[in-house]
Amino acid sequence: MISSLSPFKLERYFARYEFNTRYLLCSSDCESLAVQDLLALEPKADEGLLKHWLGYTESLGSPSLRQEISQIYTTIQPDQVLVHSGAEEAILLFMHAALQPGDHVIVHSPCYQSLSEVALNLGCQVTSWKGKEENGWMPEIDELKAAIRPSTRVIVINTPHNPTGLLMDRERFLEINQIAQHRGIILFSDEVYRESEFAASDRLPAACDINNQAVSLGVMSKTYGLAGLRIGWIATHHAALYARMTQLKDYTTICNSAPSEFLAELALRHREKLAQRNLDIIAANLAMLDRFFAGHAEFFSWVRPKAGSIAFPKLIGEDIERFCDQLVSTKGVLLLPGTIFDDQGNHFRIGFGRKNMPEAVFRLEEFLQSKSGGSLGIAAPLQVH
């Protein structure tokens, strides 16, 4: 029952800080835009928005938006795309469509909480398939094989990954798809950070394009920086699952916001440009973070990601929750302790998709300096270029 879902720790943490904290140094989405910036992408787009009809929209998502989304994939037709109000709605509906109490689910961990929580709440057995820092956060394929049971109905993966930033390599991604497909297990592939790979050649195929039992999850929020549109989708060749999800959607949102669908479609026609804008911000920010972590190597471990706008470094020598509390209260800089993801390794999520990241890191640096008489010894001050 949805009413018995446990509190979503990450969302509750953000609810405390997101709109009263100056520097969100742990956001997972990229720098956003104003409506006028999106409308400037095409002549007469403003007129189109002003004339856009505000009645109910088609429950599956408007045909032209689904057409635009299908272009992201190589084998997907518009009628294999189901548009939702954010990726979050799609996760909820997928789990309810695919699972029965007693089913077994394997979830790539640590994870965005709803990817495991909704299945648990449905009375499923959930096995965490854990990424290891020493392997660049990649979980072991042998452990996946060992975790599979006759009752395993769904494997959930997420790459590029929240919170670790892991971009799986192609070989292992293909292998996971084969393992699931050969055993008749549905693969739910959370690809909300796809198209944010630093090298386009590292981009993985979408699971739905290589596996007819897979469901790919996409969203406007992350790579394209348009979280406020609340437009997400699934793409799949699995017709029965698709049909079941459309039925369930009648009980959540019925259809999506009409202006959001208009703006999402416009944005997707220019998605490469929007992604590149954010990749440029990320590249500049990462160069700064590299210098920061190199200057403080005794206090942080740093696995540099190959995609996305987040990573999961480790703090050495002090409790991460205490560190984050002090940082936000004294410097107005928010980091996300890994305990929010049930991580016990003293990691924290850092986000580098926002334009004001350099100022936030500068304040973090000041914070470290102010603690230099305390438990953390501090290296030379950060040079901000």
Subset of 260-299 contacting ligand PLP (CB under 6 A): none
Comparing CB distances to ligand PLP, the nearer of 211 and 260 is: 260
Closest approach, Cβ 29 to ligand PLP, in A, equals 7
Q: Smallest gap, in angstroms, from Cβ of residue 47 to ligand PLP?
A: 28
291-321: burial string, b at 16+ Cβ within 10 Å, e else: ebbebbeebbbbbebbbbbbbbbbbeeeebe
Helix-, strand-, coil-residue percentages of the chain, each rounded to 5: 45, 15, 40
Looking at residues 354 to 373 of the shown chain, list those that interact with ligand PLP (rule: CB under 6 A): none
C-beta of 317: minimal distance to ligand PLP in Å? Answer: 29
CB-based contact 236:75 (threshold 8 Å): no
Is 223 or 346 the residue whose CB approaches ligand PLP more closely?
223
For residues 12-51, which are near ligand PLP according to CB under 6 A?
Answer: 28
Least Å from the CB of residue 126 to ligand PLP: 16
88 near ligand PLP, rule: CB under 6 A:
yes
What is the rounded distance in angstroms from the CA atom of residue 305 to the CA atom of residue 302? 9
Q: Pick from 14, 73, 112, 367 the residue near ligand PLP by CB under 6 A.
A: 112
Residue nearest to ligand PLP as judged by C-beta position:
86
Q: How far apart are CA 155 and CA 385, in angstroms?
A: 44
Shortest distance, position 323 Cβ to ligand PLP, whole Å? 22
- Closest CB to ligand PLP among residues 23, 112: 112
E-assigned strand segments in 330-375: 333-334, 336-337, 348-351
Using the contact rule CB under 6 A, the part of the chain among 51-59, 219-227, 331-339, 341-349 near ligand PLP is 219-227
Determine, following the binding rule CB under 6 A, whether residue 192 of this chain makes contact with ligand PLP.
yes
Name which of 127 and 260 has its Cβ closer to ligand PLP: 260
Rounded to whole angstroms, how far apart are CA atoms 76 and 215?
11
Instruction: Specify whether the CB–CB gap between 376 and 317 falls below 8 A.
Output: yes
CA 323 to mean position of chain CA atoms: 24
| Near ligand PLP by CB under 6 A: residue from 61, 78, 86, 205 | 86
H helix runs in 83-147, sequence order: 86-98, 114-121, 141-147
Measured in degrees and rounded to the nearest 5, phi and psi for residue 302 equal: -140, 110
CB nearer to ligand PLP: give 129 or 362: 129
Length of the chain: 385
To the nearest whole angstrom, how small is the minimum distance from the Cβ of residue 101 to ligand PLP? 24
Q: Which of 219, 315, 336, 360 binds ligand PLP (CB under 6 A)?
A: 219
Rounded to whole angstroms, the Cα distance separating 251 from 217 reads 20
User: How many of the other CB atoms lie within 10 Å of CB of 361?
Assistant: 22
Beta carbon nearer to ligand PLP, 248 or 379: 248
Q: Which of residues 158-177 bind ligand PLP (CB under 6 A)?
A: 158, 162
- Closer to ligand PLP by Cβ: residue 90 or 382: 90
> 200 phi and psi, to 5 degrees?
-55, -30
Residue 356's SS3 state is coil
Beta bridge partners of residue 32, listed in sequence order:
none
User: Binders of ligand PLP: how many residues, by CB under 6 A?
Assistant: 13
Candidates 105, 227, 303, 357: give the one binding ligand PLP (CB under 6 A). Answer: 227
Q: Please state whether beta strands 214-219 and 23-24 pair in parallel, antiparallel, or not at all (unpaired).
A: unpaired
Task: By CB under 6 A, name the binding residues for ligand PLP.
Answer: 28, 86-88, 112, 158, 162, 190, 192, 219, 221, 227, 232
